[in-house]
A and B are shown apart, each in its own frame.
Chain A
């Protein structure tokens, strides 16, 4: 059974009563994500992929359609879901340990227990020794690892990641991708990743969903049949190149359409 199911989910921005123009962002998206799967969503800029992820995460209400986490129909944040944002999201007033402990503290977990779990997770993301550092003392990549640890410590069944490495340089991005694969293998974590990076989506995923230009619909879902477990050396293989080409072929037309839409708006 799928751990996450979307049935005809649509999201339209704007209030019809206010007389403002309605902007359809996501249109009629249906998909199933299996437990333990690494599922990527890719699409042209502004196609609604981040909006779709926020709808899944319960941060935005869907205008229509149904969303199930396991067998439960949901319409808001669900304890099975964890969210990692693209933007810098660590709490600047808390240390690494304080950031990672935060969610457990809010759930009333005893101090000893939450400290133990947080330290374990900090170790998993490779930040042991940095427990007492504040975000201002960490690099961009380290801050994102803190954000990942903060989400993972709550033991979400599904981790939603909105372009988590978008603000990082290419090398850091590849290395963190590899780290994410390791964590995913270790925790058997289901991950849904929104990205605009084709290489990243192919390197990390079991399946890649390509969205159309706005309003975002499902254009194609590509199964990534690269061997598991993988590391970043996979990007040198022929099969990787062919899969990247396949994703790009599906995406190209939509990217051009999105580019034209932007030009017309300007």
Chain B
């Protein structure tokens, strides 16, 4: 068994072990179904909702919003990060304000976005993209700043063209840090998208969770949470696959 297989086995073992404990606790009545749904019931409800209920439509809305935020944050974040690295004076000047903006509660600005874009997905995408944008900008700038110059000299000593240096040395060297930024961005985007859907009732899984919680539909709430976790895993998987491709 390889190291990575062993790690995966441990990880899955711990997750399924915990779910088993929850399942047993709920089924035995030790924890009330008013607080917690049995994981198997939540999965069944999720499946039923996806097939016959509103879940599929709402999940597709959330999926679309997250994907749009990631694309916008990636394009503008990487470009801005590269620009701030390339022009050191501007980069140094904006580093602190960006960090301050990152730690500020931008989410409280959601009424402005609702007024500007209406109670639509556009408002969710516009505000959530900002959450994703900042870690990508900061990680991109940091990634380029911290490239080991010796690696570029190795390329120069082999007489590589600028294009080869960029594609085969610079890109793989910066990829891990930039992709860490993507993972961070995904976390913030997920929180923001679901939070806004929940609060502003714009649609998507967040609205489904809000509806279910107002009606004390515990199994639906947990089904929605499982759906959200599945979305998060799917996006993380896609990010990790893209990173492997970039580092080739």
Give me the interface of A with B, judged by CB distance under 8 Å: 57-59, 76-79, 81-83, 85, 87-89, 91, 93, 102-103, 105-106, 150, 154
B156 closest partner in A (C-beta) = A59
- Asked if B172 CB lies within 8 Å of chain A CBs, one says yes
With A93-B172, A106-B164, A106-B168 in contact, do A87 and B150 touch (Cβ < 8 Å)? yes
Whether the pair A77, B157 counts as a contact (CB closer than 8 A) is yes
Q: Chain A residues near B151: list those with CB within 8 A.
A: 89, 91
The residue of chain B having its C-beta at the shortest distance from the C-beta of A147 within the complex is B154
Does B157 lie within 8 Å of A83, measured CB to CB? yes
Bound: A155/B150 CA distance, A: 21
Say whether B154 contacts A89, CB under 8 Å. yes
Q: Which residues of A contact B89 (CB under 8 A)?
A: none
**Residues in A whose Cβ lies below 8 Å from that of B164:** 106
For this complex, 8 residue pairs linking A to B, each with C-beta atoms less than 8 Å apart, are A82-B157, A89-B154, A91-B169, A91-B173, A93-B172, A106-B158, A106-B168, A150-B154
Partner pick for A88 among B150, B153, B157, B175, CB 8 A cutoff: B150
State the main secondary structure of chain B at its contact with A.
Answer: helix
Residues of chain B from 116 to 161 with CB closer than 8 A to chain A in the complex: 148, 150-151, 153-154, 156-160
Chain A residue with minimal CB distance to B175? A93
Contact A79 B169 (CB under 8 A): no
Q: Give Cα distance in the complex from A116 to B160, angstroms.
A: 22
Q: How far is the CB of A118 from chain B (nearest CB, A)?
A: 14
User: With A91-B172, A93-B247, A106-B168 in contact, is A79–B159 under 8 Å at CB?
Assistant: yes
CB-based contact B154/A83 at 8 Å: yes
Q: Taking A78-B159, A82-B157 as given, write out 13 further A-B residue pairs in contact, using a Cβ cutoff of 8 Å, ordered by the A residue number.
A: A57-B157, A58-B156, A85-B153, A87-B150, A88-B150, A91-B151, A93-B173, A93-B175, A102-B168, A103-B158, A106-B158, A150-B154, A154-B158
- Residues of chain B contacted by A76 (CB below 8 angstroms): 159
Q: A67 to nearest B CB, angstroms?
A: 15
- CA separation between A93 and B175, bound complex, in Å? 10
Docked complex Cα distance between A77 and B151 (Å): 15
- Chain B residues with Cβ below 8 Å from A105 are 168
Closest 3 pairs between A and B when the two form their complex, measured CB to CB: A83-B157, A77-B159, A93-B247
B150 touches A89 (CB 8 A): yes
**Closest CB of chain A to B156's CB: distance in Å?**
6
- The complex places the Cα of A81 from the Cα of B156 at a distance, in Å, of 12
Judge whether B156 and A85 touch: CB under 8 Å: no
Closest to A83 in B: B157
Determine the chain B residues whose CB is within 8 A of the CB of A91 once the complex forms: 151, 154, 169, 172-173
Roughly how many angstroms separate A13 CA and B152 CA in the complex, as a whole number? 20
Interface centre among A58, A93, A102 (most CB of B within 10 A): A93
Residues in A neighbouring B158, C-beta threshold 8 A? 77, 102-103, 106, 154
Which residue of chain A is the closest to B157 with respect to CB atoms? A83
Write the nearest CB–CB distance from B172 to chain A, whole angstroms: 5
Provide the bound-state CA to CA distance between A125 and B36, in Å.
61
The residues of A that contact B153 with a CB separation of less than 8 Å are 59, 83, 85, 89
Q: Is the CB of A77 within 8 A of B156?
A: yes
Nearest CB of chain B from residue A121's CB, rounded to whole Å: 15
Q: Are A81 and B157 in contact (CB under 8 A)?
A: yes
For the complex, give the distance between the alpha carbons of A39 and B157 in Å.
20
**Closest Cβ of chain A: how far from B70's Cβ, in Å?**
23
The answer for the CA separation of A21 and B150 in the assembled complex, in Å, is 26
Contact partners of A59 in chain B: CB under 8 A: 153, 156-157
Smallest Cβ-Cβ distance to B160: which chain A residue: A106
Question: Which chain A positions have C-beta within 8 A of B150?
Answer: 85, 87-89
Closest to B168 in A: A106
Q: How far is the CA of A105 from the CA of B155 in the complex (A)?
A: 12
With CB as the reference atom, state the residue of chain B lying closest to A94: B172
Q: Which chain B residue lies CB-closest to A154? A: B158
**What are the residues of chain A within 8 A of B169 when measuring CB–CB?**
91
Expressed in whole angstroms, the minimum distance between the Cβ of B133 and any Cβ of chain A is 26
Contacts of A81 in B (CB 8 A): 157
- Docked Cα-Cα span, A76 to B247, in Å, equals 28
Q: Which residues of B contact A93 (CB under 8 A)?
A: 172-173, 175, 247
Q: For residue B169, which residue of chain A has the nearest CB? A: A91
Please give the distance in Å from A162's CB to the nearest CB on chain B: 10
Contact of A85 among B154, B159, B172, B173 (CB under 8 A): B154
Q: Who on chain A is nearest to B172 by CB?
A: A93
Identify the interface centre among B157, B159, B160, B175: most chain A CB within 10 Å of its CB.
B157
Q: B149 → chain A, closest Cβ, in Å?
A: 9
Kindly list chain A residues whose C-beta atoms are within 8 Å of the C-beta of B154: 83, 85, 89, 91, 150
Nearest-Cβ distance from residue A176 to partner chain B, whole angstroms: 19
Q: Closest residue to B248 on the A side, CB-wise?
A: A93
